[in-house]
Each structure stands twice: as structure tokens, then as C-alpha cells.
Structure 1
Amino acid sequence: MRIYIADINDTLRTIAKKFNFSIETLLSLNPNITNPDHEVAGVQICLPPDSHRSPPFSDIPNCANPFLYPFEYYLDQWIPLTSIEEMASKEYDFIIAGTGFGGGAVLWRLCEKWRNTGKRIAVIEAGDLVLPTNMNNIPTLNGDRNMRFFTNPKRWRTISTVNSISLDESTPLKSSPYYFNEFFGLGGRSLFWGAVTPRMHPIDIAQWPVSLKEMNRYYTISEQMMNVSTEYVKNSTFSEILLNRLLNNGFPETSLLPIAADTQPTQFGNVHSNVFFSSLEFFAWALSLSSFDLAVRARVAKVLTDQGKTVGVEVMSRDKKKYHIKGKNVVLSASTFETPRILLYSGIPGKAIGHYFTTHSRVEGMVNFLTADFPEILGTAGVLIPRTTEREYQIQIGYNAYLYELIPRAMQEDVWFGASGVIESRYENYVSLNPDKVDDYGIPELEIQFSYSLKDKEVIQQMIEGIKSASVAAQGLLRSLCLGDPGLVYHDMGTCRMGIDPATSATNPDGQIHGIQGLYVADNSVIPTSGAANNTLTTVALATRTADKIMKHF
């Protein structure tokens, strides 16, 4: 530390300039001087050592300019992509086919556990880049614009059932078949799902080859990753009042709706902008943990095996060129329809592959409420009447029926009551290849054999009565009631169900195809029985568990 006696007309600023120190440094050393421009003649000024002297302008290096000093490679899109040609020149430890919730969860878990190990992972998506987040996070995709965007036939493939469905033995079959839909795009259906995430009821899990204790462990892991809670609808006056009415009028199990929504505020530089969860958040986590190659517009047509071991996949580009991607392990996460289609077209043996197809039956009601019975600010409605031992269905109330606050507000509002029912897992419901009809790639199209059993029809009748009772308990007026097309529920599952017996299941309890080393399934298709709960949380839990089993065996 040095002392300088200020001359006439000196200020702290002129002294800083004279001795080539920063004004901030002198202010910190001379706290008694609060104004750097006041004259300080005769005052003792503390000066720092010469090492603190500011370097001449010419000695300061230029800041790095990213436009002059290029990166090793640039991004053309919002996520790094790899060409299928480049993939064909490598050999991977793991190949993941499909990028929905199952594929995303497996990728995240592998990258989390195998960071910095050098393991090579390839991810292949048949669709293109569509959106970087769930559509509910995008302001321009609200109202009916979201469905006009996602029902575009460029992104969908429709599969019809061979037979139609009747409600009872005396009712003739409906004249038109039912339709099931496949969506193609990075992130799959996670881009537009409703984010409702209840757990399966223990009575349904009791039939599975996975214990309830283990399922609860993976449910907890998945809920934490997906931000599942009831916070989104908590304290919404409409939800709370409907909840209390149902609790007090015959539905004591009712709860607020669990939703995969990040409700944390953006603060301390931590941005919480993606409220509704999608598989792309799994990809974001994976990118921060490890490296992987991702190809889009590349369709996995076949799994390649040699003497009971997986050796890779055959992939077709949009221009119909075939590529062989070498891999020691393959995880099929292509969907309840596309995964068995790949297995069947590959000639993978298995009596149960494609069979035991199930979904949820659906009864929908619109219930009218007088808004005068509620406080001024309604909020949204999100309530769940869960499945119980006696009740083989659940009722989901109001979610996605956003009640925008209009001035003046409407005198009455319609709220959606949707019941989802258990459907029996039967060998007679299945998907199969149609050798007489092929797609643009020369691959046989799928056809679906699906019908309700007598038990299923009994549950549907119970759902009808259940919605009537729930509407009365909630003190609303049931305006309409209809039977939903099962193809529009989007809860399809079971075509590669897990189990112990190869005669009645496609995979073992770890998700590996019976008899084929290194070939796994991680999507809705492995769920053994339908239950009544929305199946996304269960898909993520089982996929995460399968990833852990893979790493243990590997």
C-alpha cells in the first residue's frame, strides 16, 4: 500500500488516470471519499501496489468472437442430429428405436448412469422434428389450433380394426370400423399428451411380474423427473369445491388431479419455462450428462439377429435406401403398434407378440355448472375419482377444459367428465401384418382385431352409471353422454406384454424379448394389463426400470 498527497485540483478520478489505476480500485481503498469528482487537494490518498495498475489498452486481448473462431460443428436445428449414413459407419453399444416416453426415459437413464464411460448410444426416430416442447407450452397452439396441427396426416398413420364393436349381444355391429392412430415425430405423443399421471391401482399391479414395492420405487423416480404433483390445480376454487362436493357425496377416494407440470417459479437464474412435461426433457437431461447420436426421418424396419443375439437394425431413409446399423443391444420404443410390427417383420419368434392388445374403454359426459355457485375467480377444474377394488374405472374431471376469465363471465360452464375403464387382456385382441397391403417402404401394413368382451361391456355400463352419479354428487347437470371411440383414447398397450411365460408374454420381467439376447422393449406395449389409470407414468416407470436391468446385465 502506498500513500499519495493530492495536488491542487486533484480528484480521485484524475489521480486514477494519472497513475493508471481503475476508479473502482481507488474508491474501495478510500471509502472516506464518496464522490470521485470532488477536489481532494492535500488529502492522503491510498494507492494500490503497482501490480494493480491497469494495463495499457493495447495489452488487453480481444474477447473471443464465435463468428471468427468456429466451433467444431454447428447446429442446424435445436437438437444435435447425426446422419444415418454416419451411423452406419459406427458400432453402438445400444440402439434405441423411438423417442416417445419409453425411448426418452431409457436414454436419460443410460446417460445418467453411464456418463463419461465412452458407451456409444444411437437413437433413431421415424418422424421429423416437430416441436421443441409440449404443445401446451406454446401460446399459438391453443384452442382448436392444437388438433388442427397434430391431426395433420403428414404426421399420422391410421390403422383400422378388422371388426367393429357392439355394446351388447342384441345390438348389431356398427357399420364402420374403429380406428387407431400412430404419430410420428421426435418426442412422439408426448408433444400433445394431457400430462395426467396417476399410478396404477395395486390390484392391477398384483397380476404383474413386478412387485408393488418395486413399482412404487420407480413410480417415485419417474414422478420426480416429470414434476408430477397436484400443484397445478391446487387452490383453484373450482377444483377445490368440486373435490369437496364429491368427497361428501359418495366418492371418498376423490383427489386433485396429478399432473406432470413444473409449477416452480423462474428465479435465481433457473428458468422454468416448460410447464408441461414431454419426452424432449429427457433428451435435454441426456445431452447434459453424456453423448449420443440422434437421427430423424429414419425408420427402423427390422431387428438383425445372429444365433439368438442382437447385432443391429435395418433402417430405411425417406428416399427408401437401406442401412445396417450395428449394435450389441436394441431397445424398441416405437409404440404399441410399431414395436410389434418391427418384431413380426423381423421374424422374431414369440406366440404372444402382437397379441393381448388392450386400451381403455371411454364414456364421456358434459356436465353443466352455474357459475353463480362459485367465487368470482374460478380457475381450472382438475379432479380424479380413482379406480378402486369395486370400481373398475376412473373418472377424470375437467382437465383441459380451461375456464378463461371473461368479463362478464359466462353464467354457466360445461365441464368434461371422462371415465376410463378396465379392458380384459385377451389373446383374441391383436395386431398382425397384412401381407396383401404394404406401405411406401414395402413393409406390410398392420391390421387390428379388437372387440369388447362381455366383461368389458359390463364395465362400460358401470361407467355410464358412474358418470351420472358423479355429476349429481358434484351438483351439476349432465347435458350429454357418449361412448368414446377407443382409438381416440390413446391409451393403447399390451402387444409386447411382459411376463414369465413365453406363451402368454413377449418379454421377460426385465423387458427383454424371450429367447433373444440384447433385444428389449420399453414403451406402452409391455404393460401387462390395462388397469384404469392413464398409462404414461407406468410406461416411464417400467422403461426406467428396464434401463436399470439392462445396465446390471451389461
Structure 2
Amino acid sequence: MVVKYKNNWIPTKSLEEMSNANYDVLIVGTGPGGGATLQRLCELWKNQGAKKIGILEKGDKLFHSHSLNIPTQNVNTARDALLPDNSTVIGERLPQFSGARMVYALGGRSLFWNAATPRPIQSELNKWPIHRQELNVYYDMAERLLHVTRDYAKGSSMQNTLLKRLHAGGILEAKDMPVAFDMTPSRQGEVHSNPWFSSINALAAALFDRPYDLAVNAYVSRVMEENGRVSGVEVFSADKNAHIIRAKNVVVSASTLETPRILLNSGIQGPAIGHYLTGHVSIIGIGTISRRQFSDKLGNLCILKFETKESPYQIQILGPDQYFSYQQFEDKVHKDQLMVVYAAFGRVEPRAENRVYLTGEKDEFGVPLQQVQYSLSNKDRQTANQVAQGIRQSAAAMGVTLDESTLVLRPPGADMHEASTCRMGDDPATSSTNRHGQVHGIQGLYVADNSVLPSLTAAGPVLSNVALAIRLADHIVRQSG
């Protein structure tokens, strides 16, 4: 006899139950944007029992936490086994975006991200349709939610020595990398056992503020609207039964590739929906350095070379070997030569012709599949050359012997930083949503994932996504009275 346990570490509802309710806010997707929106709504409506919030996840429950918080995992096993086994390489049917990979599960790709959380370069934020002082407030809030710290490698002789070498070599924008890692110790009964942030942390924070309805294996096919106002969504269960769930406000946070698919399949008119797909030109370089150059208190390596106007890229400098993040149970054995990794991301120009669009091919639920049109401009390729040269300069300054054969441009989408297909702005001709993330012309319909970012700097999109999602939740609460 096979016993099936309930896997009830987080409460869920069936789609049948949710179709009998009428929600004040219904969120589609449980990644960082959906999770942050939910957390903020539950925080602000903590004592307002009449408010009803629901959230839908296309995938199933997978992990209760970020993969690096699982005691049996380290950076190597999480990257080489766990991620491939629990993700979908959708780039296999997207020839121009062949590196694309999705995680259809509660928490989405936040279960695997590397948690680097630098703010975007200010000169680019000044172009966004939000005042810089307001943005700063929400970036502060996002950093608190994510427990962003610069102390992850504090006290490491490797960190201190190599930072000094970078600065002496003229690379002054190299600093301690901010990461979403909760360094608060567990004491007096208060447990901090999930230091690496994933969206599960936000779902948990929300749950302890007030109840909400969560459905997994809930495949949202389209948004419903009546007379210019959202009314709910159509959603399929795993057995392909369709349900209509009603809501006064719908927040779509299904991902940069899925959100425009849902909006386009809903017949929502908007000349910019799906356009301006932006990713990074990405190179991962590998080098080695002698162990004898550092004290016995070696520590780990977590440096970020920040973007500048002159150098439109960032380099995450990590190491040594697999010990950037490892379990307390592991023997920390160092070779004479330590491996240093340079994970670099360069800016790509936002261009309308880079887009997500629907094809005639349909999935098992009868919903049109998306296709991607994507190419790099000459400027993007020049940036890629700058990225490679930046890695060389950093390695030389650090005294690291670089393996030149590793300086290869990764396939588009492999960075998993795609953004801006439903970007916010004031002009409906070049943006999909207004400055609050509301889809132009559809009252109560919002977007809250990476796709809403007005542009993508060299910084990863998660911190910006969370900041804008918290801001969106505040807007919904104000509009709801």
C-alpha cells in the first residue's frame, strides 16, 4: 500500500472552493513579485477581516525554502542536480531565446536564485516614471523584506585581500556584494532557519499576518474584464476543468514570458504588451589563485563590481570553489589552487522588436503558446566585449589566473533576468501599464513581476521587482479604501 501524505506545510484551497468566493485581490504567480504583493497586502489588512485575498500558482509545492537552505544541498548540488531536475527548459522551443528556463512551483525561480541584490544605477532610475525619493523608500522596504546584507563575507581574509587589490588596481566600484541573506541568529525561541531568501519567506510572513487562499496546480489561461474593468480570471485545474474566479483586482505576476502570454490570450489591447523584452549579455569566467596568498582564516568570497555609466555591466566575484555557500556538515577541504568565479551581466538595449508573441500552436489546455523574437544589437555586442574585458581586468588586479576559454557569451535567456515585456510608463504606445503597474485601459488589472520593470540595468531584477510590488500593494490598499 502506497501512503500519500498531505504535504500541508502551507494551507491550500481547491479551485472549486475559490470559484465560490469573490476576492478583493487575486494574485497570479508566487515568485518574488507575487509574494511581495501578498505579504504587503496581508500586513496592511492584518486587522481587516472582511478583505479577501487569493493567490494562484501554476505549479505544485516543491520546497519549503530556498534550495541552499536545504541541509543536504550546497551550491554545486543545487545548481547541477536540483535545478535541472525541477525546472523546464522552455528555450528548447524558443530558438532566439534558447537559454530560457522556468521553475513551475510554489516560489518559482526564487527557490534557486543567487540572491545578489544591488540597486540599479541611479542614472537609469531617474528615467523611470516614479520620483527618485519615492523609489528610495520602496527600495528600503524591499531590502528589509529580503534581509539584504553586505556582511555575508565579513572577516574573510580572501574577501579583504582581494578587495584591496581591486581598489589598488583602479577598480574602485568593487564592494562587498549585497545579498538577500538573513544573518539574524536564532535565539530565545525566534527561529531564523531560512537565511537565503525565497518567495516562500514572503508567503510565510503574509500567513502569520492574516489568512489568504492559495491554490496550486492552478493554470491561469486568461483574465476576464467587463466594460474596462477586471472581473476575474479563467483557470484550469490539473484535470483540465475550467473555473472562473471572481475578483475586484487581479495582479498578474506569472513571469516575463508568461504574463504577456496571459494578457494577449485575454484579448487585451495594448501595442506594447509583450514588446521590449530585455535580458543581459552574460559571461561566467573561471580562474584560480594560490591558497598561500591568504591567512588561515580564509573565509569566502562575495564581491560585486558595480555598474557605472562608462562600464554598463556588473561582475559577481564568488568563491572559493564550492564554499561560497556550504552546509555546516561538510568538510571544508581546500586545494593549493582556489577557484574564483566571475559571473558578469551586461546591459542590453530595450528595443520594441524584441518581444513575446502568441503562435498558432497550443498547449495541452488549448491555450496558445508564446514565441520569442530576440536579437542583440551592435551596441549589445560591444557591451559583451566590455564584459569580457572587465573580467580580465578584475582577474589581473586580483592576481587570479583566468581561464580564457571560459569567456564565452551565454545563450540569450540563460541569465534568467528577462524583464520589461509589460513595462510601466506614461505613454500607452511604448508601455503596457501606468506608473502604478495597472494595465492601460483596464481598471483593477495590474502586473507585478519582472515584466513591469521600465528598463533593465546591469543589476538583477529581483530587488526592483519586490520594491515595485510593495508599492503596487500600497496603491491597491489606497484605491480600495
> What range is the shorter-chain TM-score in?
over 0.9
Task: For 1:246-261, list aligned pairs within 5 A.
Answer: 246-261=166-181
Aligned to 1:6: none
**Quick one: which amino acid aligns to residue 304 of structure 2?**
L
Structure 2 residue 28 is the aligned partner of structure 1 residue 82 = no
- Residue 351 to residue 359, structure 1, CA distance change in 2 (3 Å): same
Deviation at 1:288, TM superposition (A): 1.1
Structure 2 residue 339 is the aligned partner of structure 1 residue 414 = yes
1:130 to 54, 62, 67: 62
Q: Is the 8 A contact 1:196 1:258 kept in 2?
A: yes
- Measured in 1, the distance between the counterparts of 2:87 and 2:166 equals 40
Deviation at 1:263, TM superposition (A): 1.1
Structure 2 residue 138 is the aligned partner of structure 1 residue 212 = no
TM-score of the two chains, using structure 2 as the length reference? 0.94
- Measured in 1, the distance between the counterparts of 2:11 and 2:435 equals 34
- Structure 2 SS opposite 1:159: helix
Structure 2 residue 33 is the aligned partner of structure 1 residue 109 = no
Where in structure 2 are there 5+ consecutive unaligned residues?
A: none
- Residue 406 to residue 84, structure 1, CA distance change in 2 (3 Å): closer
Residue-by-residue CA offset, 1:5-52 (whole Å, 9 max, x unaligned)? xxxxxxxxxxxxxxxxxxxxxxxxxxxxxxxxxxxxxxxxxxxxxxxx
Q: Is the 8 A contact 1:162 1:450 kept in 2?
A: no
- Measured in 2, the distance between the counterparts of 1:157 and 1:323 equals 28
Q: Is the 8 A contact 1:182 1:337 kept in 2?
A: no
- Measured in 2, the distance between the counterparts of 1:463 and 1:196 equals 18
Deviation at 1:380, TM superposition (A): 1.1
Q: Is the 8 A contact 1:380 1:402 kept in 2?
A: no
Q: Is the 8 A contact 2:358 2:371 kept in 1?
A: yes
- Measured in 1, the distance between the counterparts of 2:75 and 2:312 equals 32
- Measured in 2, the distance between the counterparts of 1:388 and 1:121 equals 41
Aligned to 2:114: 194
- Structure 2 SS opposite 1:538: helix
**Quick one: which amino acid aligns to residue 217 of structure 2?**
R
Aligned to 2:396: 472
Residue-by-residue CA offset, 1:61-84 (whole Å, 9 max, x unaligned)? xxxxxxxxxxxxx97510011111
- Structure 2 SS opposite 1:498: coil
- Residue 101 to residue 400, structure 1, CA distance change in 2 (3 Å): farther
2:285 to 345, 348, 365: 365
Structure 2 residue 226 is the aligned partner of structure 1 residue 306 = yes
- Measured in 1, the distance between the counterparts of 2:377 and 2:92 equals 19
Q: Is the 8 A contact 1:160 1:448 kept in 2?
A: no
Deviation at 1:141, TM superposition (A): 2.3
Aligned to 2:157: 237
Aligned to 1:459: 383
Aligned to 1:224: 144
**Quick one: which amino acid aligns to residue 379 of structure 2?**
K
Deviation at 1:361, TM superposition (A): 0.7
Say how many residue pairs are matched.
467
2:451 to 525, 528, 553: 525
**Quick one: which amino acid aligns to residue 295 of structure 1?**
A
- Residue 312 to residue 410, structure 1, CA distance change in 2 (3 Å): same
Q: Which is bigger in relative contact order (C-alpha 8 A, separation at least 6)?
A: 2
Q: Is the 8 A contact 1:392 1:421 kept in 2?
A: yes
- Residue 98 to residue 456, structure 1, CA distance change in 2 (3 Å): same
**Quick one: which amino acid aligns to residue 188 of structure 1?**
G
Aligned to 1:397: 317
**Quick one: which amino acid aligns to residue 491 of structure 1?**
H
Q: Is the 8 A contact 2:174 2:304 kept in 1?
A: yes
Q: Is the 8 A contact 1:161 1:179 kept in 2?
A: no
Deviation at 1:447, TM superposition (A): 0.7
Structure 2 residue 179 is the aligned partner of structure 1 residue 179 = no
Structure 2 residue 73 is the aligned partner of structure 1 residue 141 = yes
- Measured in 1, the distance between the counterparts of 2:89 and 2:445 equals 26
Aligned to 2:358: 433
**Quick one: which amino acid aligns to residue 345 of structure 2?**
S
Percent of aligned positions with the same letter in both sequences?
43
TM-score of the two chains, using structure 1 as the length reference? 0.82
Deviation at 1:179, TM superposition (A): 3.2
Aligned to 2:253: 333
- Measured in 1, the distance between the counterparts of 2:93 and 2:379 equals 20
Q: Is the 8 A contact 1:305 1:311 kept in 2?
A: yes
Aligned to 2:270: 350
- Residue 522 to residue 412, structure 1, CA distance change in 2 (3 Å): same
Aligned to 1:119: 51
Q: Is the 8 A contact 1:310 1:518 kept in 2?
A: yes
Q: Is the 8 A contact 2:98 2:414 kept in 1?
A: no
Aligned to 1:93: 24
- With 503-512 and 154-163 compared, the bigger mean Cα shift is at 154-163
- Measured in 2, the distance between the counterparts of 1:353 and 1:343 equals 8
- Measured in 2, the distance between the counterparts of 1:337 and 1:318 equals 21
Residue-by-residue CA offset, 1:191-232 (whole Å, 9 max, x unaligned)? 111111100010111221112211111111111111101121
**Quick one: which amino acid aligns to residue 438 of structure 1?**
K
Deviation at 1:283, TM superposition (A): 1.0
**Quick one: which amino acid aligns to residue 67 of structure 2?**
M
- Residue 337 to residue 392, structure 1, CA distance change in 2 (3 Å): same
